[in-house]
Chain A
């Protein structure tokens, strides 16, 4: 079986600004991978390339043995920032139901099976009590859980999360990462985070990205690694943890 995500020599620029430079990366099936790096280091761009939201300018991407665009419906995605107005007239239930949209389920009404399918996910994310609440009334952490539920309700084979705990307190962060650890039994999970020390307790590997890539296997995350990453030189490190 090939890898879940395979990036070969990917480069990407916004105008004259190089964001990714010759990045190659393989993510195995049911692997829990952390992706860290400084702001502007290309983490979100890498995720958007994997999702097919951006076409690679150089290199090749394979996701679930096909192109990113074809694989998109088999992926779950939680963006860093909600791309919608919080005042939009919609309830938590209807936001989560949107994860059920897809081929064969686009026109007409929601079916009873759709509403039933989201019940377990709402339970899993501990947001059942918010089901009929309007999204404007949610805290940042609650909103994040709603977006994770929306991504999970499609039963994705790969879950991609862009800083999912940015607006969550430490307790909430721990509980979400424990959840992601559980999810990796059934799916590949890739999470962007700023908190290298924290995610290294949970993930199988940490990929460190700062525009270009240096394979740098190490057993422990050290202060030097972090200094290197956020400095000028080292752009990517892989940390292997025993789990």
Chain B
């Protein structure tokens, strides 16, 4: 059986094990941050950060540095710019996101085009290629995801209060604006982790679809995090298995599986609605 071959290879081939681990860590990052993105309805903002990141990756690549470091710096800068604009000049938010989105991609494409190996690397950044993940990436991502977990343990209840009712949270002395910018920085971090698996164009799918799916069935952000992480991991494993067996691009296959999972979930939710209300 072809799928058995995949799982056998995952146990025996170090590169595939590493690819799976990177994918699972990406799913975990998306599952932890996605619920905030979905309930706060800032998916488009995550998309803006993701596309801007290409500038950082391209510049780092051109300078011979680490693309992931460039991605990090660029994602955090984009998050802070978008956060400050949306807080202090909300009318400009949409334009600024569009500008960062397009300019970030243009800068990235230009720098990558001036570096040897152009086409392969650009495609990897845009669409992801789990099977080409560099050695040691899983360790770096593990440390990043552990950092995400620690920060969330510290800020989760205040962050939830701000997302739920910013005015009330502010009256209680919660630093709402700082936490909003922190949320965007957390989105930026998860975007960088996710794009290692599925590429920056499709990051938004694993950031929002598992969380939205979880929101169909559970009624707390913590429970959404759990379900979204598990669903994301399932999409990664199934998507990778299909892409392995059918020799398809892994990023696109994973996103299609996630889209299908979301569609099934929303259908089940509608079918179960009368029973849940009863």
Contact = CB atoms under 8 A, between A and B. Distances in A.
A101 B164 contact: no
A84 interface: yes
Which residue among B168, B223, B224 has the maximum number of chain A CB atoms within 10 Å of its CB? B168
A95 B219 CA distance: 13
Interface residue tally of chain A, by bracket? 20 to 34
A109 B218 CA distance: 21
B168 A89 contact: no
Given A98-B169, A101-B173, A150-B168, A89 B161 contact: no
B231 to A, nearest CB: 15
A16 interface: no
Interface string A19-32: 00000000000000
A103 B173 contact: yes
A98 B168 contact: yes
Given A89-B39, A89-B218, A90-B219, A108 B165 contact: no
Given A107-B155, A110-B157, A89 B215 contact: yes
B157 A101 contact: yes
A79 B164 CA distance: 14
B143 to A, nearest CB: 22
A232 to B, nearest CB: 33
A106 B174 contact: yes
Interface in A210-225: none
A99 interface: yes
Given A101-B157, A107-B158, A90 B220 contact: yes
Interface residue tally of chain B, by bracket? 20 to 34
B164 A77 contact: no
A108 B167 contact: no
Contacts of A75: 171
A89 B165 contact: no
A109 B157 contact: yes
B154 interface: yes
A73 B173 contact: yes
B174 A89 contact: no
Contacts, number: 78
Given A107-B154, A107-B158, A108-B153, A89 B171 contact: no
A19 B172 CA distance: 27
Interface string B106-121: 0000000000000000
A134 B227 CA distance: 18
Nearest to B166: A83
Given A107-B158, A110-B157, A90 B172 contact: no
A154 interface: yes
A102 interface: yes
B49 to A, nearest CB: 24
Nearest to A88: B164
Contacts of B168: 77, 79, 83, 98, 150
B221 interface: yes
A51 B171 contact: yes
A152 B219 CA distance: 25
Nearest to B172: A101
A117 interface: no
Interface of A: 51-53, 72-73, 75, 77, 79, 82-84, 88-91, 94-95, 97-99, 101-103, 106-110, 134, 150, 154
Interface of B: 35, 39, 153-155, 157-158, 160-161, 164-174, 215, 218-221, 223-224
9 contacts: A51-B171, A53-B167, A53-B171, A94-B220, A98-B164, A101-B169, A101-B174, A102-B172, A108-B154
